[in-house]
Structure 1
Amino acid sequence: MASRTTFEELPSAVRAAVESHTGRIHRIEPVSSGLNSQVAARLRCDAGTVHVKGLRTDHKWAWTQQREAEVNPFLKGISPELLWRVKGSGWDLLGFDLIKGHHADYSHGSKDLPLMVDLLTRLGETDCPQIELREAGQRLSKYVADSSQLDLFKGNALLHTDLNNENVLVEEDHAYMVDWAWATRGAAWLDAAYWVIWLMAAGEHSPQRAEKWAERVPAWQTASAEALKAFAEANERMWEEIGGAEPDFWTSRLMNASRAWSEYRSSL
């Protein structure tokens, strides 16, 4: 989690550069979500309301700002539009169109689940841009039982890979995906598979029920049983490493979900 700086604490030159895009700022509302940002706020200003997120240019995750800025033009209707970028005085800020909605509800029976299927379907129809992206195999290379399994994750689809429900905003009957810092290139079915784990982590989905939702995403049908088993096992190892000996409640949910799914996939 990045340490937080309020918008008001930013250098005056940075705030002035923001106002060159927004006009006069009338109200600043801090945002608690977005743990990888040092600055996160809603700005109510002459130009309307925008969501701003940012990091210091010397932060270890500063590269994620560039990744989000580069991928955004290819995500029309899938992600909030990037309106402007301000970089200077040691800071890198991104200003996005504000989505006036709620975080997706992954619980059983939620009306947001079909909207999530639609979102992942639309993403699967999006051409992967020819920009620098990490490959899915790179992300999972530490966690596979055999390096030859990495070929199962290869592809040319644009992937989000962090299907945390807080990264999905629902406005009326439309879902949007935010926080593209970990945008990845790989097999088209992978985001639906990541979603299975997050559905199970919501606490109300068995592996079978979670997969029934993933099956509604067309790209899921391109995954072989071998690939799904290898992916489930790799994610179990990854979450065990992240959680360590004393995982917090949030991480424990992902550890338990990934373990249960891996066991289910191994039993088929």
Structure 2
Amino acid sequence: MKKYGWDELPEPVREALRNRVGDIDRVGEIEVGQSSNFAAVFYRDGAAPLFVKGVEGVSPAMRWLRNEAELGTLVSGIAPAVHFAADIEDWLLVGFEYVDGRRARLQPGSSDLTRVAETVNRIGDIKAPGLKPLEQRWKSAWWPKLAQERPEIVGDWDIDELTAWEQKAPELTAGHSLLHTDLHADQFLVPATGDIRAIDWGWPAQGAAWVDPAFMVIRLIGDGHQAMDAETWAKTSTRWSEATEEEVTAFAVYVAGLWSYKAATTTRLAQIARDYAGWRLRRPL
């Protein structure tokens, strides 16, 4: 994705931002993943700074940014507030409340873990009947595709067993709670004071409240926790405890297939997810 600096933006885009941001003292350009063409903090005369992201051209990235802008009051106090969203020529520009915070630390023993759990629980307590259900998004069968296209990944795993678990996952993850579906350390901003904020709401959905904590279990394993310890954290601190053994195992197998199939960009996560699914499959139900 092409990256633009402030001086490289088309003049109509710059003018639209000046009109919405107000008097600009300086522009602090920042690197934000691969899903935005432009990202910067606008420091303003006599007003709080704003964080602005922009995407050029119709694309999945534009849809993800529009999802963030449209969540609005649903995630008030959890996500940075949206100040404006504007379609200018072939650009989508969204201005957010600027949160001056560091990324969360999820390693074993981190003092952030308790506050992260509180944030995950706040998300799960929100009902989101207007969002697309996760069960509708999770209709693909990943393990049969992997067996056909990348048999070395499947190895000696029982493809029939994996497929059977995978087919259960959509129905078992159904619910009416708000889901972020991509929580990890970089998605939590920890300010010096005040509540942690969850950012990058490009893939929201509705589903069972235990699903985001289940994603967090995999992320904790990736940050150095043993699988049993990660599950203990989720069980004692989040609504993961509402899930049955069957539901969590189906989830683990589905995510392992999904991330393995998309391993071109998530190679390490795919291995973590497969290891966790294997650990779940060896546990008595």
Shorter-chain TM-score above 0.5? yes
Residue 162 (str. 1) matches residue 182 (str. 2): yes
Q: Counterparts of 1:258 and 1:196 in 2: how far apart (Å)?
A: 10
- Alignment of 1:211 with 2:231, yes or no, is yes
1:178-200 Cα deviation digits (max 9, x unpaired): 01110111111100000011111
Instruction: Deviation per CA, 1:80-137: give whole Å up to 9, x if none.
Output: 000111211221111000111001111111111111100011111112152x435244
Shift of 1:140: 5.7
Aligned residue in 2 for 1:6: 5
Matched, 1:69 2:69: yes
For structure 2, the 5+ residue unaligned runs are 143-161
Residue of structure 2 equivalent to 1:260: 275
What is the CA–CA distance in structure 2 between the aligned matches of 1:152 and 1:98, rounded to whole Å?
37
Distance in 2 between the 1:117 and 1:140 partners? 29
Match of 2:138 in 1: 139
Post-superposition Cα deviations, 1:19-73, rounded to whole Å, max 9, x if no partner, equal 2222122211121123211111111123321111111142343222221111132
Kindly state the Cα deviation for residue 208 of structure 1 after the two structures are TM-superposed: 0.7
C-alpha distance in 1 between matches for 2:189 and 2:139? 27
Counterpart code for 1:30: E
Contact 2:3 2:37 in 1 (8 A): yes
Q: How does 1:51-130 map to 2 (within 5 A)?
A: 51-130=51-130
Question: What SS does the aligned partner of 2:77 have?
Answer: coil
| Counterpart check, 1:29 vs 2:28 | yes
Root mean square deviation of aligned Cα: 1.9
Q: Give the residue type in structure 2 aligned to 1:72.
A: G
**Partner residue in 1 for 2:214:** 193
Superposed displacement of residue 8, structure 1: 2.3
Give the aligned residue type for 1:13.
P
Cα separation, partners in 2 of 1:73 and 1:129, compared to 1, 3 Å: farther
d(CA) in 1 for partners of 2:255, 2:139: 8
For residues 49 and 243 of structure 1, do their structure 2 counterparts lie closer, same or farther at Cα, with a shift above 3 Å needed?
same
State the identity %. Answer: 30
Aligned to 2:145: none
Q: Does 2:260 match 1:240?
A: yes
Instruction: Quote the residue 2:37 is aligned against.
Output: 38
Partner of 1:227: 247
8 A contact 1:33–1:166 mirrored in 2: no
> In terms of mean alpha carbon deviation, does 154-163 or 233-242 score higher?
233-242
CA distance in 2, matches of 1:3, 1:240: 27
Q: Which amino acid aligns with 1:228?
A: V
**Paired residue type of 2:11:** S
Residue 66 of structure 2 aligns to which amino acid in structure 1?
A: Q
Normalising to structure 1: TM-score of the pair?
A: 0.90
Aligned residues: 260
Code of the aligned partner of 2:209: A
How does the TM-score come out when normalised to structure 2?
0.85
**2:79 maps to amino acid:** S
Checking the alignment, whether the CA contact within 8 Å between 1:34 and 1:40 is kept in structure 2 is no
**Runs of 4+ that moved beyond 4 A:** none
* Distance (whole Å) between structure 1 residues aligned to residue 88 and residue 212 of structure 2: 34
